[in-house]
Copies of this chain bind each other. A is one copy, B any other.
């Protein structure tokens, strides 16, 4: 297929590369220049602007947040103004339910198709084409996108015809992951202060009843008290919990554990932890217990 791809961060660059590798004709664009060279070497074309990505069957976007996704889509030089009638916007960014609904309406008015297809997976999974893709939108359009999903992920899950459903599922999945991190943080604080070996504990759990990658990856980081470098930074985790809670507000669904996570992330940011991995919230229980191995001093409250 002839494609555009906008957003060449760590996730997007890996995803675009996988599309090129299986033979798609991809024009790539990133607002901050200097990200496209490796893709050009693989055979992608460089687009000078958003318009330059709009000449084919579909444009895929993989952007940092609502602000970026909104800037790319709306306005004179944006996707909605330039995508041909009948073309598809495959929005794979983690964005709000509200923005996804706005995009759905705007593309429909412009005679374009819109599919929300956010992903689960860290950059290494993106590079290995092992992402899990959650897709929602018109079934025929999703069917058209399946070859793209197969190039980028190990599996695509259709979850309905309303695109924003996919965004809500993605946000709720990040909520579930952050919940597991908080739970691990409290459990490790508890057994660690009792003198039990933290790593042996995580090995035990993840070799038995908690044998999911989430527990292995984050349990290991928490046992080690090592939250940098960030694979997924704390401000992004905070953003996603806020978007989940914003959707919960609209739907009138109280989420007390969501609120706890919100406050945990806010505390990390308040204490200078913007550079840390989002799993740093899993170090706060040990900090509260006065027993925080490896918590960087940047996170210690300042004294006047």
Interface of A with B (CB < 8 Å)? Answer: 97, 120-121, 132, 134, 155, 157, 159-160, 162, 165, 168-169, 172-173, 175-177, 179-180, 182-184, 186-187, 189-191, 193-197, 200-201, 204-205, 207-215, 242, 244, 247-249, 251-260, 262-264, 266-267, 269-272, 285, 287-295, 297, 300-304
With A and B bound together, what is the CA distance between A252 and B120 in angstroms?
28
Q: Is the CB of B297 within 8 A of A301?
A: no
Q: Is the CB of A259 within 8 A of B248?
A: no
Contacts of A132 in B (CB 8 A): 208-209
Q: Is the CB of B301 within 8 A of A293?
A: no
Instruction: Known pairs A177-B209, A254-B270, A270-B289; list 12 more (Cβ under 8 Å).
Output: A160-B197, A165-B191, A173-B205, A175-B186, A189-B255, A211-B212, A252-B269, A256-B259, A257-B260, A259-B259, A270-B288, A270-B291
Knowing A211-B212, A263-B255, the reply to whether A169 touches B204 (Cβ < 8 A) is: yes
Contact of A175 among B179, B180, B187, B292 (CB under 8 A): B187
With both chains docked as a complex, state the minimum distance between the C-beta of A200 and any C-beta of chain B, in angstroms: 6
Contact of A196 among B168, B190, B259 (CB under 8 A): B168
With A and B bound together, what is the CA distance between A179 and B159 in angstroms?
25
With both chains docked as a complex, state the minimum distance between the C-beta of A151 and any C-beta of chain B, in angstroms: 18
With A and B bound together, what is the CA distance between A157 and B182 in angstroms?
24
With A and B bound together, what is the CA distance between A297 and B302 in angstroms?
10
Q: Is the CB of B209 within 8 A of A194?
A: no
Residue of chain B at shortest CB distance from A132: B208
Q: Is the CB of A191 within 8 A of B208?
A: no
Contacts of A252 in B (CB 8 A): 193, 266, 269-270, 289-290
Contacts of A165 in B (CB 8 A): 191, 194-196
Q: Is the CB of B263 within 8 A of A201?
A: no
Q: Is the CB of B303 within 8 A of A301?
A: no
Contacts of A258 in B (CB 8 A): 186
Contact of A256 among B169, B187, B260 (CB under 8 A): B260
